[in-house]
Structure 1
Amino acid sequence: MKAKRLLGAALALGLGLGAVTSTTIVEAQGKKSSKAPAAPAIAATPPTTKLSIALIPRAQDKKAKTLSWGMTPAQVASVIDKVIDESHAEDFRKTPGGPNLTKLEQQVQQEKIEFKQSRVDFGATPTGIDSTPLKGEYTYNNKEAMLTYERGKAKTHFFFIQDRLWKIIDERTLGEGSKAGKDYAEAVSKLANTFGIAGRVLPADFDNGRYSTEVDWKDASTHLRAVQRHDTALAIILEDNVTLGNLDALRPNKPADDNGIDPAVAAAVRKDGAPPDPKQDEKKK
């Protein structure tokens, strides 16, 4: 969705998305005045929700163990096992004994195995995840990994640092009849109603690794980002506040600058096109 279309819809919903200046408005004002008004400053931190942010997914059984930050992959898998069991509860009720029941039990067991086998480790070798919208949510060579729970077209990704859960990304579909909302503006409106406060709007900022519009909130333990994927999808990203505050220390190996110039090449190139001076280079050494 184009920025001005999104922002116009959001303004109509009164979500505070007017913090981002519409391109159309700026152009119109530019015709009347040579000086366009500066966009309002973005808050330094997201607003605090009035309702605690729950980690997802979670089992309907209130006695079942729920997800929490710092869990190991095995602990997360035990929670997802319960979620998978519940997702097939109705199938088990409708399926009589015999071969059909055995087949259903095998299907459920296979889903649990596939989740455990979905692990991707972000080591020294680049992965295919770099070509997806998840790029930028992880780094390499910092003991990071990901597990993915799939059911139909829906996906939930679990991110780990040093084998401790610190981020969950739930991909949601938008459209008529969707529980998330018919479009991004409606989805953000629903979240604002749930949390009792409008979120902070963060426009796309490619220089800082933000590739699309986001609206975020936080509570005592969790940072939530509602990220626009495209017209018919958004991602709900949950992050552990403690880990966020320590990311620099947890990620000692920084990514290389893909747009950087090799130092040897830079040293050999002069502004005037002249070849390097060996004497000067020797002095520098």
Structure 2
Amino acid sequence: MTERARPAHGHERPDATGAAPTGPRPAPDRSPHTSRSDDQRGGDQRGGDRRQLMRCAPEKRFPKLRAAPPLPNGQESLTIAPMPADDVPETFHVTTDEQLRAVSNLTRHRIMAVLRFEPATITQIAERLGLAKGSSSYHVRLLERAGLVKVVRTRKVRGVTERYYAMAARSIELPDPGVGGPDVLMRHAVADLEASPADGERHVRMAHLRLTGEQFAELGARLEALADEYRALSDPALPDVSLVFALFRPAARPRTEGDAK
């Protein structure tokens, strides 16, 4: 039996006659079946990689993403909610000269009007009242030092701590100015009235009454109750409205002959 020659490593296998083929080497078989099989094997490998990646933490799947840092002071969101009404004392009694000087300024009076309904920052107060930020900061600091307003929230914004201020109480009670003393509230009320738009809504009335002591007290209580009723309906999103009422007995004036007639 004749033994066939084995091809050397790296050489073409001889044909049936034993002679090595001549001419260019044929291209490798790239039939659709072979290519599909290779693609499937590659796809299975890539699919396994993706499944493994999906099991990773988000920071590894998306390297550019990082978990958000916790909000300061226990905040649950960036929205600053108004201070709960239950935490606000009913009345702040002005008892010192420092406190009286703080409320005697018209600008600070208007700042307190802004803070009566919801907390605000110094910047927000300045924008609301048309003040320079430095002026707003100065007046708020004086009110804070006098105990009339206080910080109720803080948060970090671009590395700067923002403080939200609110009134220390729902209402402020001033001491009796005494005979001939200036009435701070009425001065501020008149100034606000004069500064209000001339074409705006106004209801200014004055009435002269003759009342007993009991009727005088009853009318005062009813006016306060009516103001409280509408104060409860107030919404910070609505336009500001100022209500001022003064129930008092005028100073006695000497009678003249014309009065007797």
**Structure-2-length-normalised TM-score:** 0.24
Q: Which has the higher contact order (CA 8 A, sep 6+)?
A: 1
Determine which structure has the larger helix proportion and give its number: 2
